[in-house]
């Protein structure tokens, strides 16, 4: 998911360089949303992993 955020950021930088201000702003907004969703999902999975703990391994 962070790869998508990076992709949209690169698209935004290229669009800004070429002078497409509206497209660049839209791509930056999408990149921000995807980045924050990825961070939230990471925190949730880290909390669930800590709460569940490790299961005993089979011999």
**Residue 57: predicted pLDDT:** 63
Cα 12 to its chain centre, rounded Å, is 15
- Rounded Cα–Cα distance for residues 35 and 8 (Å): 10
User: Domain residue spans in the chain?
Assistant: 2-52
**Residue 29: predicted pLDDT:** 84
**Residue 58: predicted pLDDT:** 59
Tell me the two tokens of residue 11: 């698209």
pTM, entire model:
0.63
**Residue 51: predicted pLDDT:** 86
pLDDT in tens, 6-57: 887 888 888 888 877 777 788 888 888 888 888 898 899 888 888 887 665 6
Return the sign of the alpha-carbon dihedral for residues 20, 23, 26, 32.
negative
């Amino acid at each position: 998911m962070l790869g998508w955020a990076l992709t949209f950021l690169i698209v935004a930088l290229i669009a800004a360089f070429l002078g497409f201000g509206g497209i660049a702003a839209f791509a930056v907004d999408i990149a921000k949303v995807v980045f924050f969703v990825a961070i939230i999902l990471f925190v949730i999975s880290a909390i669930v992993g800590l709460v569940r703990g490790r299961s005993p391994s089979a011999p």
